[in-house]
A and B are shown apart, each in its own frame.
Chain A
Amino acid sequence: MSSHGIKDKVAIVGMGCTPFGEHWESSAADLLVDAAQDAFGSAGVPKSAVDAYWLGTLGSGFSGMTLSTALKTDFRPVTRVENFCASGSEAFRNACYAVASGAYDMVMAAGVEKLKDSGYSGLTRANPPHDGTASSLTAPARFSLLVPAYAEKYGVDRAEMKNVITRIAWKNHYNGARNERAAFRTEVPPGKIKASPRVAGDLGIFDCSGVSDGSAAAIIVRAEDAFKYTDKPLFVKALSFVAGSGRGALDPTYDYTTFDECVRSAADAYAQAGVTDPRREISMAEVHDCFTPTELVLMEDLGFSGRGQGWKDVLNGSFDLSGDLPVNPDGGLKSFGHPIGASGLRMLFECWLQLREQAPPERQIQVGGRGYGLTQNLGGVPGECVSFVSIVGPQPG
């Protein structure tokens, strides 16, 4: 497989992100308008400057007209993409490629999801007609399988595992409490996290990301044009996307302690960006903490921790805001909820703030070295999923 990447060929020059939460007064179209207006303002460009759009949404609208009729764009192409929970990242990836190809000068990647109108707990979606034999297990149940598998493989006792996933929830809520755009803005004591009612397996309510509405958008131009729009563009170093074959669901060799799709997309992204020691070369990461054990496993899949070591790094605070590699400094899915199409771009928005040192002081991290930020976005369930990894940085090279 050859994956050449487009390192430093395109850059983000403006971003917008709505507050995430229960937007009873706003439709998906309203949220898109809010995020797009923010992004136009951030880049200092009028709507007419944008040549083409990519829109990620799982179910809040069909076709590119979801965006074009909301924004009233002037007969511009809009590509509506869906790739499970990584739909927003997928919109961003394809938008970057369009600029890199030379087809367009300036494009926008946007993501939106309006989940709260469904009235249900958790995610719901309409399936194609089916034979009725697919598993009815919910997402928390699927991801809960990680906990006993990890505990058994690495000899971590179940009470300690509960401490580890509780620490992840506590950390992300701590960060989210310092973020005005987060849906849940209070710190949650570990005792309350641990005692929350069980949803599936060892996962309590506080081990699960919430349900919310939101939208985010990015404006992308060729790297050489970036400084026309901002002093501080964010250069795209790597974009990797992997769709799994579903092997984990079919083959007994899969042991529920890793996402093969994430390992592969991380390796591809590191190769594109020239990263050889991710723990040291990455300044911050926004990862897909849909459920707390997902974040634990991702620390190892992304190479931040050795196999079987991630739980110790979590407990000793390595991934805290003040740790050596802050993970989900914005509060993650835990604090934002997970409006599917928006989440990938919301992760990128935190890189936009942090790497350009424009995050509020109470959560601004120390950006050292090359100042690389990583986003990891997952769609599907353990054993059969899609994974996206991007790396961005504030300077070329």
Chain B
Amino acid sequence: MSISRGIVSYGAYIPYWRLRREAIGATLGWAGGAGQRSVASYDEDTTSMAVEAGRIALASAPPIEPNGMGSVLFATACPAYADKTNATAIAAALSLGPDVLAADLTGAVRSGCAALHAGLRGDSASLVLLSDLRTGRPGSAEERDGGDGAAALVLGSDAAGPLIADYLGGASASDEFLDRWRSPGEASSRVWEERFGEAVYIRLAMRALTGALQRAGLSADEVDHVVVAGLHTRAIRGLVKAAKLRRDQLTDDLAASVGNTGTAQPGIALASVLDVAAPSAVIALVVLADGADVFLFRTTGQLPVARAARPVAAQIAAGRDDLPYATFLTWRGYLEREPPRRPSPDRPAAPPAYRLARWKFGLTGSTCECGQRHLPPQRACVSCGLADHMHDEPLSGARATVATYTVDHLAFSMSPPVIAAVLDFDGGGRFACELTDVAAADVAVGHRVEMTFRRLYTADGVHNYFWKARPVTEEGLA
């Protein structure tokens, strides 16, 4: 009997902010635009969103042995860094390491499929992260139809923990054709006439889908849920028709509520299916991106007890949809606003960031033998004064209460004013940090918050990642 591989756990992350499409039209002077798109906040990027998705996925996974994660594979078409690996920051933020392969698959949207294939074929457990931030020139279809978000999947054999879905196999088809492209550094992509791509995609997708079903001994009828992802919506509609897929098999592509999240879309859509699917359901994940990739899964009896603590639908519902278009343009760099008359922040230095990585990325403090907690970690105890009687205290999953807070109109921020709070952590320890995903008027002493991994600012090309606090949205994420 072969060792079965599949999905151990999953999580999707939809950022808090939404841009209503009518807000674009209202500013640029045309009518309409239905629905909304998700928007990564000014302090988020594909790396930080992947961390948030990863935290959700790991929260419902069985405890991973120290260094038990073989690889952390990060896929995005919008990497925060080139040359430098982004997955290392994600692995550090999730405290997975050091015996782990942390690597990026970046550039094309299809990178996400490569990460999934690698995770499903590997020997040890893998954390696969799909993340994207989709935008384009003001007024473009990409800006309107895109969305930002991330998904994470812990993949592995049943040795890594009971699987919530077995991988039944898949197929890929590739060809060289020009449908969507962008030179590195360009802000928006270009597309060929869409009828051309449609024809090529349908041919390749039918080939992959038929092959995958045949090898798995399944007919299209036996598939309970079909997720078709891809940026070429016309080709997707054509494939649905060509493959004679029934409406009840199809999953919502979230175009109206989230937008097309590109590299992350297959993961987020798969997560939305796993949020609701019954045991023993067959799921086909079909991705059209410079070819076609098909992944077939069958859910197990473990699924109902190991679903993500933050379902996609709940995150969509929790979002805030009144983001002004001018703010969106500012966050994405299309509208350069006057900064406060204060010095710009200086870049973090590499050696201190390295020495303190467990704090900066992992939010690990220290607790003295006398019980006093310290954030950041200290050698000498502020309570008993003894030095070097500390142990590590991971706090990224801890919750805290706002002891006091303030609104700072003077401090540098991409999105002033800065709201900061003094936090008292459950179980002890105090730390002052910025609040995010909240309006000043909605903060009060005594409010409950949880930590979230963010990009504080970028200086000299160095992204300064660290943790902020946000209001607790749902109990349960460890």
Q: Which residues of A contact B (CB under 8 A)?
A: 119-122, 124, 127, 129-133, 135-138, 140-142, 144-145, 148-149, 152, 197-201, 245-247, 249-252, 254, 256
A–B Cβ pairs within 8 angstroms, 11 of them: A131-B348, A132-B456, A135-B433, A137-B406, A138-B408, A148-B404, A199-B409, A249-B430, A250-B382, A251-B382, A252-B430
CB of B244 within 8 A of chain A?
A: no
Compute how far the CA of A137 lies from the CA of B421 in the bound complex, rounded to whole angstroms: 10
- Name the one of B342, B378, B428, B466 contacting A122, with C-beta atoms under 8 angstroms: B342
Compute how far the CA of A209 lies from the CA of B331 in the bound complex, rounded to whole angstroms: 33
Cβ–Cβ < 8 Å partners of A250 in chain B = 372, 374-375, 378, 382, 429-431
CB of B472 within 8 A of chain A?
A: no
Most chain A CB inside 10 Å of its own CB: which residue of B349, B352, B404, B465: B404
Cβ–Cβ < 8 Å partners of B343 in chain A = 120, 124
Compute how far the CA of A122 lies from the CA of B408 in the bound complex, rounded to whole angstroms: 13
- Given A132-B360, A256-B404 in contact, is the A200-B409 Cβ separation under 8 Å? yes
Instruction: Classify the secondary structure of A's interface with B.
Output: loop
Cβ–Cβ < 8 Å partners of A198 in chain B = 407, 409
Looking at the complex, which of B93-101, B152-160, B410-418 is the stretch in contact with chain A? B410-418
Contact yes or no, B418 A141, CB < 8 A = yes
Cβ–Cβ < 8 Å partners of B326 in chain A = none
Cβ–Cβ < 8 Å partners of A137 in chain B = 406, 408, 411, 418, 420, 432
In the complex formed, the residue of B with least CB distance to A119 is B341
Minimum C-beta distance from B466 to chain A (A): 5
Contact yes or no, B372 A251, CB < 8 A = yes
- Given A131-B349, A136-B412, A245-B382 in contact, is the A121-B340 Cβ separation under 8 Å? yes
- Given A121-B410, A140-B410 in contact, is the A132-B378 Cβ separation under 8 Å? no
Contact yes or no, B429 A129, CB < 8 A = no
In the complex formed, the residue of B with least CB distance to A254 is B430
- Given A250-B382, A252-B403, A252-B424 in contact, is the A133-B356 Cβ separation under 8 Å? yes
Cβ–Cβ < 8 Å partners of A120 in chain B = 341-343
Minimum C-beta distance from B389 to chain A (A): 16
Give 4 A-B pairs besides A131-B355, A137-B411, A141-B410 with Cβ atoms closer than 8 angstroms: A132-B360, A132-B464, A138-B342, A201-B408
Question: B365-388 interface mask toward A, CB cutoff 8 Å, 1 = contact, 0 = none?
Answer: 000000010111010001100000
CB of B422 within 8 A of chain A?
A: yes
Contact yes or no, B408 A140, CB < 8 A = yes
- Name the one of A131, A152, A199, A252 contacting B410, with C-beta atoms under 8 angstroms: A199
Contact yes or no, B349 A129, CB < 8 A = yes
CB of B398 within 8 A of chain A?
A: no
Contact yes or no, A136 B411, CB < 8 A = yes
Question: B461-478 interface mask toward A, CB cutoff 8 Å, 1 = contact, 0 = none?
Answer: 000111000000000000
What 9 A-B pairs come out closest when comparing CB atoms?
A132-B348, A129-B349, A141-B408, A201-B406, A132-B464, A131-B352, A252-B424, A131-B356, A138-B410
In the complex formed, the residue of A with least CB distance to B412 is A136
Minimum C-beta distance from B385 to chain A (A): 8
In the complex formed, the residue of A with least CB distance to B346 is A127
Cβ–Cβ < 8 Å partners of B349 in chain A = 129-131
- Name the one of A131, A138, A145, A199 contacting B404, with C-beta atoms under 8 angstroms: A145
Cβ–Cβ < 8 Å partners of A251 in chain B = 372, 382-383, 430
Compute how far the CA of A88 lies from the CA of B31 in the bound complex, rounded to whole angstroms: 64
Compute how far the CA of A251 lies from the CA of B383 in the bound complex, rounded to whole angstroms: 8
CB of B434 within 8 A of chain A?
A: yes
CB of B29 within 8 A of chain A?
A: no
Minimum C-beta distance from A242 to chain B (A): 15
Compute how far the CA of A251 lies from the CA of B375 in the bound complex, rounded to whole angstroms: 9
CB of B295 within 8 A of chain A?
A: no
Which residues of B450-465 have CB atoms within 8 Å of chain A's CB atoms?
Answer: 456, 464-465
We find that the number of chain B residues with CB closer than 8 angstroms to chain A is: 49
- Name the one of B340, B352, B420 contacting A135, with C-beta atoms under 8 angstroms: B420
Compute how far the CA of A124 lies from the CA of B340 in the bound complex, rounded to whole angstroms: 13
Compute how far the CA of A127 lies from the CA of B374 in the bound complex, rounded to whole angstroms: 22
Minimum C-beta distance from B13 to chain A (A): 22
CB of B351 within 8 A of chain A?
A: yes
Cβ–Cβ < 8 Å partners of B376 in chain A = 133
Contact yes or no, A144 B406, CB < 8 A = yes
Compute how far the CA of A198 lies from the CA of B382 in the bound complex, rounded to whole angstroms: 34
Contact yes or no, A129 B406, CB < 8 A = no
- Name the one of B404, B409, B410, B434 contacting A149, with C-beta atoms under 8 angstroms: B404
Minimum C-beta distance from A190 to chain B (A): 22
CB of B17 within 8 A of chain A?
A: no
Compute how far the CA of A385 lies from the CA of B375 in the bound complex, rounded to whole angstroms: 18
Contact yes or no, B403 A200, CB < 8 A = no
Cβ–Cβ < 8 Å partners of B465 in chain A = 132
CB of B353 within 8 A of chain A?
A: yes
Cβ–Cβ < 8 Å partners of B32 in chain A = none
CB of B345 within 8 A of chain A?
A: yes
Minimum C-beta distance from B84 to chain A (A): 16
In the complex formed, the residue of A with least CB distance to B408 is A141
Compute how far the CA of A252 lies from the CA of B429 in the bound complex, rounded to whole angstroms: 7
CB of B359 within 8 A of chain A?
A: yes
Cβ–Cβ < 8 Å partners of B403 in chain A = 252
Contact yes or no, B409 A145, CB < 8 A = no
- Name the one of A131, A142, A199, A245 contacting B353, with C-beta atoms under 8 angstroms: A131
Cβ–Cβ < 8 Å partners of B433 in chain A = 135
Minimum C-beta distance from A274 to chain B (A): 31
In the complex formed, the residue of B with least CB distance to A126 is B346
CB of B64 within 8 A of chain A?
A: no
CB of B445 within 8 A of chain A?
A: yes
Contact yes or no, A247 B342, CB < 8 A = no
- Given A131-B349, A136-B456, A148-B404 in contact, is the A122-B410 Cβ separation under 8 Å? yes
In the complex formed, the residue of A with least CB distance to B342 is A120
- Given A250-B375, A252-B403 in contact, is the A152-B359 Cβ separation under 8 Å? no
Contact yes or no, A130 B404, CB < 8 A = no
Compute how far the CA of A200 lies from the CA of B429 in the bound complex, rounded to whole angstroms: 25
Minimum C-beta distance from A82 to chain B (A): 19
Cβ–Cβ < 8 Å partners of B340 in chain A = 121
Cβ–Cβ < 8 Å partners of A122 in chain B = 342, 410
Minimum C-beta distance from A182 to chain B (A): 24
Contact yes or no, A249 B432, CB < 8 A = yes
In the complex formed, the residue of B with least CB distance to A130 is B352
In the complex formed, the residue of A with least CB distance to B465 is A132
Contact yes or no, B360 A136, CB < 8 A = no
Most chain B CB inside 10 Å of its own CB: which residue of A136, A144, A152: A136
Cβ–Cβ < 8 Å partners of B353 in chain A = 131-132
Contact yes or no, B348 A145, CB < 8 A = no
Cβ–Cβ < 8 Å partners of A121 in chain B = 340-342, 410
Minimum C-beta distance from B338 to chain A (A): 13
Compute how far the CA of A141 lies from the CA of B349 in the bound complex, rounded to whole angstroms: 25
Cβ–Cβ < 8 Å partners of A149 in chain B = 404
Contact yes or no, A133 B359, CB < 8 A = yes
Cβ–Cβ < 8 Å partners of B406 in chain A = 137, 141-142, 144-145, 200-201
Contact yes or no, B352 A129, CB < 8 A = yes
Compute how far the CA of A197 lies from the CA of B409 in the bound complex, rounded to whole angstroms: 10
Cβ–Cβ < 8 Å partners of A132 in chain B = 347-348, 353, 360, 456, 464-466
Minimum C-beta distance from B449 to chain A (A): 14
In the complex formed, the residue of B with least CB distance to A144 is B406
Compute how far the CA of A165 lies from the CA of B434 in the bound complex, rounded to whole angstroms: 26
In the complex formed, the residue of A with least CB distance to B464 is A132
Which residues of B299-346 have CB atoms within 8 Å of chain A's CB atoms?
Answer: 340-343, 345-346
Cβ–Cβ < 8 Å partners of A200 in chain B = 406-410
Minimum C-beta distance from A41 to chain B (A): 39
Cβ–Cβ < 8 Å partners of B348 in chain A = 130-132
Minimum C-beta distance from B8 to chain A (A): 32
Cβ–Cβ < 8 Å partners of B409 in chain A = 197-200
Compute how far the CA of A384 lies from the CA of B432 in the bound complex, rounded to whole angstroms: 12
Compute how far the CA of A250 lies from the CA of B360 in the bound complex, rounded to whole angstroms: 16
Cβ–Cβ < 8 Å partners of A140 in chain B = 408, 410
